[in-house]
Amino acid sequence: MQDGRAPRIKNRAPAAIQVTAEQLLRDAQERQESQFRAPKQRVEDFEELHEYQGRKREEFEKRIRQTRSSIKEWLQYANWEVRRRSTPSSPPPPIAHPCRTGQPRRICPLALRV
pLDDT in tens, 42-51: 888 889 888 9
Burial 2-38 (b: 16+ CB within 10 A, else e): eeeeeeeeeeeeeeeeeeeeeeeeeeeeeeeeeeeee
pTM surpassing 0.75? no
Q: Is residue 86 part of a domain?
A: yes
- Please give the C-alpha separations between residue 38 and each of 11, 35, 41, 86, in angstroms, as whole numbers: 50, 10, 9, 25
Q: Is residue 16 part of a domain?
A: no
Q: Is residue 96 part of a domain?
A: yes
Please state the domain count of the chain: 1
Q: Is residue 83 part of a domain?
A: yes
Q: Is residue 37 part of a domain?
A: no
Question: Residue 97 is part of which domain span?
Answer: 46-107
Give percent above pLDDT 70 in the chain.
73
Kindly give the confidence (pLDDT) of every residue in the chain, 114 residues in length, as a single tens digit, with 9 standing for 90 and above: 557 788 888 888 888 888 899 999 999 988 888 777 888 878 888 898 889 889 989 999 999 999 888 889 988 988 888 888 754 555 555 555 555 555 545 555 554 444
